[in-house]
């Protein structure tokens, strides 16, 4: 026979806390957080259309014609893209006919053509070359807006963008951050002071502009670090603005004249 027995739980008296105030508090917190989320500033990368608009007209396509060929796009030395990029540059002029580029883009060229943002084409000639830093200055009658100058002493992690003629497709923009500063002894040039960036850079971008979020020049695109393929691997280098200034100062000391277009 199964014995059944009525039983009761025996316990000490318990003081029960009402859940209504807690529920009310949670409800108010939920509403407050929702309102804060609506009105809080949205965090975005501080580069984009404004960076492009402020600078792209100062960047040109550079088309060198190599020895033995009658038109650009053929015969570039091994490891050199058949086209490159350049930047309208001046110290104190709004409009200029001087174009900065990487020396390896034009060093052996028999003829140089530039193409501006509007698609206009003109001949350019080498005005000065600094082979040790891989910087060349071109001069052309097709003047353009001198790019605004920034500060290359950017904190690590600062947003930057690269504008250049990647793969000869025409100028485009890619953005990233400053990965490192003052990179030296990489092996590209005799004298180096690079800004390292993960902004995508590919063949044809050499001589293009590395800009800050306001579209101001902070470096001249120079090389990509890769082992097996000639494509961007996220370790890319631009000559610092400080080293560009040193190069131009040395050119002036050696007698190179920069007569700005009025």
Q: What is the pLDDT of residues 187-196, one digit of tens each?
A: 899 999 999 9
Q: What is the pLDDT of residues 99-154, one digit of tens each?
A: 999 999 999 899 999 999 999 999 999 999 999 999 999 999 999 999 999 998 89
At 233, is the secondary structure helix, strand, or coil? coil
Q: Which residues are catalytic?
A: 104, 134, 206
The CA distance from 39 to 131, in Å, is 54
Query: Would the pLDDT of 33 be above 60?
Result: no
Q: Dihedral (C-alpha) 162, 163, 168, 169: value to the nearest 10 degrees?
A: 110
190 and 220, same domain (yes or no): yes
Cβ–Cβ under 8 Å, residues 101 and 207: yes
Predicted pLDDT of residue 1:
34
Considering the domain boundaries, does residue 188 fall inside one? Answer: yes
Write out the two tokens for 6: 């009525």
Count of CB atoms situated within 10 Å of the CB of 252: 12
Considering the domain boundaries, does residue 14 fall inside one? Answer: no
Cβ–Cβ under 8 Å, residues 238 and 206: no
Half-sphere exposure of 209 (CA within 13 A, CB side): 33
Write out the two tokens for 42: 């949205």
Mean pLDDT across the chain: 83
59 and 109, same domain (yes or no): yes
57 and 141, same domain (yes or no): yes
Considering the domain boundaries, does residue 170 fall inside one? Answer: yes
Q: What is the pLDDT of residues 61-113, one digit of tens each?
A: 999 998 888 888 777 666 666 799 999 999 888 999 999 999 999 998 999 99
Total number of domains in the chain: 2
pTM value is 0.79
Considering the domain boundaries, does residue 11 fall inside one? Answer: no
Predicted pLDDT of residue 22:
63
DSSP conformation class of 67: T
141 and 166, same domain (yes or no): no
195 and 128, same domain (yes or no): no
181 and 135, same domain (yes or no): no
Considering the domain boundaries, does residue 30 fall inside one? Answer: no
Predicted pLDDT of residue 80:
65
Q: What is the pLDDT of residues 161-173, one digit of tens each?
A: 999 999 889 999 9
Predicted pLDDT of residue 227:
59
* Burial readout 235-250 (b: 16 or more C-beta within 10 A, e: otherwise): bbbbbbbbbbebbbee
Q: Is 215 exposed, middle or buried (0-12, 13-18, 19+ CB in 10 A)?
A: buried
Task: Match 């052309």 to its residue by tokens.
Answer: 140
137 and 192, same domain (yes or no): no
Count of CB atoms situated within 10 Å of the CB of 22: 10
Considering the domain boundaries, does residue 231 fall inside one? Answer: yes
Considering the domain boundaries, does residue 91 fall inside one? Answer: yes
236 and 165, same domain (yes or no): yes
Cβ–Cβ under 8 Å, residues 174 and 165: no
Considering the domain boundaries, does residue 68 fall inside one? Answer: yes
The CA distance from 119 to 116, in Å, is 5
Cβ–Cβ under 8 Å, residues 129 and 107: yes
Query: Would the pLDDT of 228 be above 90?
Result: no
138 and 58, same domain (yes or no): yes
Backbone angles phi and psi of 242, in degrees to 5: -65, -40
Give the domain range for residue 238. 159-243
Query: Would the pLDDT of 249 be above 50?
Result: yes
What CATH code is carried by the domain that includes residue 209? 2.40.10.10
Is the model more confident about 153 or about 41? 153
């Amino acid at each position: 026979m199964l014995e059944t027995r009525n039983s009761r739980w025996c316990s000490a008296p318990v003081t029960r806390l009402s859940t209504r105030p807690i529920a009310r508090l949670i409800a108010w917190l939920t509403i407050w957080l929702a309102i804060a989320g609506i009105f809080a500033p949205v965090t975005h990368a501080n580069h984009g259309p404004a960076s492009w608009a402020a600078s792209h007209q100062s960047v040109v396509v550079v088309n060198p014609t190599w020895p033995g060929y009658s038109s650009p796009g053929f015969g570039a030395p091994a490891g050199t893209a058949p086209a490159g990029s350049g930047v309208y540059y001046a110290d104190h002029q709004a409009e200029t006919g001087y174009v900065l580029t990487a020396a390896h883009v034009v060093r052996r060229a028999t003829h140089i053509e530039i193409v501006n943002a509007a698609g206009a084409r003109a001949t350019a000639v080498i005005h000065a070359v600094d082979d040790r830093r891989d910087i060349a200055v071109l001069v052309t009658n097709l003047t353009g807006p001198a790019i605004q100058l920034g500060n290359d002493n950017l904190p690590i992690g600062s947003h930057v963008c690269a504008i250049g003629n990647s793969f000869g497709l025409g100028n485009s923009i890619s953005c990233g951050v400053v990965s490192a500063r003052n990179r030296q002894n990489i092996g590209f040039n005799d004298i180096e002071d690079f800004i390292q960036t993960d902004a995508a850079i590919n063949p044809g971008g050499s001589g293009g502009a590395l800009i800050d979020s306001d579209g101001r020049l902070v470096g001249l695109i120079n090389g990509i670090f890769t082992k097996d393929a000639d494509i961007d691997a996220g370790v890319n280098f631009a000559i610092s603005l400080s080293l560009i200034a040193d190069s131009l100062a040395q050119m002036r000391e050696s007698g190179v004249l920069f007569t700005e277009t009025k």
